[in-house]
Structure 1
Amino acid sequence: MAGDVVPRDRARHGCPLALFYDDVHRTNGRLAGILGAALHRELLEPSASGYDRFVRGEVQWSLGMRVEGGEIGMGGIGGSSGWYAAGPDYAMSYVTRGLADHSRADAVADAVESALSA
């Protein structure tokens, strides 16, 4: 991806997770090659939707990831998360050792999207 915030050769911390989400949406990506075209399409499309008692809200899930408003990803307990955002075309991961909500990851994502739109 042009303009990577973290160079691809720095595979530590959250970088492999961001690289996964950078690849997950690509029809010619590594994951698509492993899964095949039909299963890859299913991976990107909602397969279940409704009220999620853990998230405490309406959600759409693909085959293991949350799909929402042009984004596909997964948030974890403690504030870590990773996703691909189609609109601004970027992948990001935020990995923390602490237990918190997602407000810090949201702030970083807002800053990234602001920088990408400048």
Structure 2
Amino acid sequence: MSAPMMSRLSAAFTVLASLADRFPDLPAADAAVSRIYPNRVELSVHDDLGYFEAWRSALAISPAQVVLETQCGGGPLMWLCADAVVDGVAVHLVGYGHVLVGRAEETDVVGAIAV
């Protein structure tokens, strides 16, 4: 069995560099490119859901496309996920935060994000 070559990741790395060039004033996000998903970039933000919102808007992702997930068992953690395609590469955006009191039972799909 031969090992995957770095060349398989070049489109994802190109898009990642392009995002940095296109949006230099956006908050920095953790970025990941994986040989398992060679045509995908994952951007994750941990500090502030407003950072997620800034990236969501910049990537032209509709608020209706954002999915809200919460920790099993009613834990205090939540995350927002959304996907876009940039120059033929999937971009998976994730924002991590804390569940607001009384909000954990709400729908899994966020129609409008209030941050």
Task: Please say whether Structure 1 and Structure 2 have the same fold, judged by a TM-score greater than 0.5.
Answer: no
Higher strand share: 2
Higher RCO structure, 1 or 2 (CA under 8 Å, sep 6+): 2
Could you state the TM-score of these two structures normalised by the residue count of structure 2?
A: 0.27
Could you state the TM-score of these two structures normalised by the residue count of structure 1?
A: 0.27
Answer with 1 or 2: which has the greater Rg. Answer: 2
Higher helix share: 1
